[in-house]
Amino acid sequence: MAATIKTIEEQQKMRVAGRLAASVLDMIGDHVLPGISTGELDRICHDFIVGPLGAIPAPLNYKGFPKSICTSVNHVVCHGVPGDRVLRNGDIVNIDITVIKDGFHGDTSRMFHIGKTSVIAERLSRVCFEGMWEGIRAIRPGARLGDIGHAVQTHVERNRLSVVREYCGHGIGRGFHEDPQVLHYGKPGTGFELAEGMTITVEPMVNAGKREVKLLADGWTVVTKDHSLSAQWEHTVLVTDTGFEVLTLGAHDGAS
């Protein structure tokens, strides 16, 4: 399937879906405290998405995924399944929200820190966040996906952290995961060329140790092979005539 170009009307629907996805992360922040379980976070987000937002949680039943959000704690890289795990002082957790509104997807994730976290956890999360923004800033018509990947990888590796290779960003729209695949490593001037009206995600996974990952027996949970900490941040981004527009900014994010 080729990458889709969104019409002006479709771009407006993507803006709405993106804003709603970000609002779930804004809402859940106050609940991410010591003593809460990831299953409780899932229930609160689910109720908010289907209730006040009038939207659909895209992960629920997606290829058999059993919950409405992903919660990836400490050495979990991505696709953590909410359940009985109780968050404790010193944990870090990525919460990944995807909603469908009026047929279009908005996809975004952030890191949350429980109580006082380690210096390496703070640095890992910050460098991953900065790497995501380096990638986003490379987005414009005529840019190539290798430009995005190179920008992310350069920042992360300069800080002696590693970029996960097996999972990547993606086109997004009526489909959850559309073409193209957006790798978070690469060479400038190579790969698929972006055009105005495309919508993609940038969502690097960064490990404190080695980049290798493994899939647990539940078929979903991805962890670092060396059990080192892992972080991820994600935005959904529109390619505009002159550059980019981030569709999933939160209430406390500046305008890019």
Site for Co ion in 72-101 (CB under 5 A): 96
Site for Co ion in 102-121 (CB under 5 A): 107
Q: Does 59 bind ligand MF3 (CB under 6 A)?
A: yes
Q: Does 245 bind ligand MF3 (CB under 6 A)?
A: no
Least separation in angstroms between residue 160's CB and ligand MF3 is 25
- What's the burial of 37, exposed, middle or buried (CB within 10 Å: 0-12/13-18/19+)? middle
Helix (H, G, I), strand (E, B) or coil at 72: strand
Which residue number places its CB atom closest to ligand MF3? 59
- 119 CB-near residues (< 8 Å, 6+ apart): none
176, 138, 172, 242: which is closest to 11 by C-alpha?
Answer: 172
By the 8 A CB rule, do 109 and 233 touch?
yes
Q: Does 120 bind ligand MF3 (CB under 6 A)?
A: no
Site for ligand MF3 in 79-98 (CB under 6 A): 79, 96, 98
Q: Does 65 bind ligand MF3 (CB under 6 A)?
A: yes
Site for Co ion in 216-255 (CB under 5 A): 234
Q: Which of 24, 27, 28, 70 lies at the binding interface for ligand MF3 (CB under 6 A)?
A: 70
Neighbour count for residue 241 (Cβ, 10 Å): 8
Identify which range of 6-14, 83-91, 196-204, 205-213 contacts Co ion by CB under 5 A.
Answer: 196-204
Identify which range of 17-25, 59-67, 115-123, 192-200 contacts ligand MF3 by CB under 6 A.
Answer: 59-67
Q: Does 131 bind ligand MF3 (CB under 6 A)?
A: no
62, 61, 58, 63: which is closest to 24 by C-alpha?
Answer: 58
Q: Does 57 bind ligand MF3 (CB under 6 A)?
A: no
Amino acid at residue number 151: A
- Convert 179-200 to b/e letters by CB count within 10 Å (16 or more is b): ebebbbbbeeeebbebebbbbb
Binding mask 176-215 for ligand MF3 (x = CB under 6 A): ---------------------------x------------
59 interface partner picked from ligand MF3, Co ion, none, CB below 5 to 8 A per type:
ligand MF3
Across the beta sheet with 235-239, what order do the strands follow?
178-182, 169-171, 199-202, 235-239, 244-246
By the 8 A CB rule, do 236 and 14 touch?
yes
Q: Return residues touching Co ion (CB under 5 A).
A: 96, 107, 201, 234
